[in-house]
Amino acid sequence: MEEQSLAGTLKETARGVDLQDKRFFSEKEVNRLRYAQEELRFLMDRNYPVSPVIKLIGDRYQLSARQRLALQRSTCKTESCKLRRAKSLPLNRLKEGPIHIDGFNLIITLEVALSGGVILLGQDGTIRDLAGLRGTYRIIDKTDKALELLGNVFKELEAKDITFYLDAPVSNSGKLKVKLLECGNQWRLPLQVNLVNNPDPLLSQRERVVTTDSVILDHCKSYFNLAVYCVEHYIENAVIVNLGLDE
C-alpha cells in the first residue's frame, strides 16, 4: 500500500505503510526471510537471473509479494556488497566539497520512516523503503518534516555545496524543486535543484553521491550513506527491519 490517509484528509498521510507489515515482518517472518536471503545470495553470486530466482525462493517459502520485494531490495552479490562498502565515505567528509543527492530516493525514504513504514537495512549497509511509487509522487505532511530533518543534518555536518537531482517525468517534481529551493534559502546554504529526465546515469559518473539506488552505487566513484544516519539519529521509533545479517 503506497499511501494511507490516517485522518481522512491530506494533512496527515502515511507513505509506504501496509497494514499487514507487523505480520510480514514479525521476528518469526524476518528469520524466514534471512534463510531465504542466504539462498538468494548463493544463486546471485553464481549469476542466476534475479527475477526467476525470487519467484522460485518466494514460492518455496510462501512469501507475500511485499516480502519478496523486501528480499530483492535488501540482497546483493557478495562482491557487490564489498565494493559498495568500500566506496562509502565517512560523513565527516561531507563538508569537504560538493554533494550530489538522488532527491526522490532520499526524501521518499525519510517520508516512509517518518510515517512508520518499514525501512530495510540491506546487506550493503544502506537502507531502502518499500513505497514503490513508480513515477507518481505527491507532497504530503511528512515532506516538510523530512526537509526540516535534512536541514538540521546539513547544518550539523557542515554541508557547503548541495545539489539535488529530481526525475523530471515524476509527477510534482517541479513543486518539490520549489520547496527545496525555499529550504535552501531558509538554511542559508548554497543549494541547487536540477530537474533531469533520469538522474541515474548522471549520478553514476560522479563522486560524493547521496543515494541508496543499487545501480548508482555500483557505478559511482564514492557516496555518503546519509539516509542511515538521518533515520538512526533523527527519527525515533523508526521501523527498521535488519536484513543486513552477514556484513
At position 118, the amino acid (one-letter code) is V
- Cβ-contact 122, 130 below 8 angstroms: no
- Cβ-contact 103, 63 below 8 angstroms: no
CB atoms within 10 A of CB 86: 8
- The residue ranges of the chain whose pLDDT is under 70 are 1-11, 245-247
- Cβ-contact 196, 115 below 8 angstroms: no
CB atoms within 10 A of CB 32: 14
**Fold entry, domain 89-247:** Rossmann fold (3.40.50)
Residues 6 or more apart whose Cβ sits within 8 Å of residue 243: 30, 33, 34, 37, 70, 71, 74, 75, 120, 121, 122, 123
The tens digit of pLDDT for each residue in 101-136 reads 999 999 999 999 999 999 999 999 999 999 977 788
Cell of 61: 517459502
- Cβ-contact 95, 160 below 8 angstroms: yes
The tens digit of pLDDT for each residue in 149-184 reads 999 999 999 998 999 999 999 999 999 999 999 999
Cell of 117: 513504514
- DSSP strands (E only) in the chain: 3-5, 13-15, 88-89, 98-102, 118-121, 127-129, 161-167, 191-196, 209-210, 223-224, 239-242
pLDDT computed for residue 6 by the predictor: 40
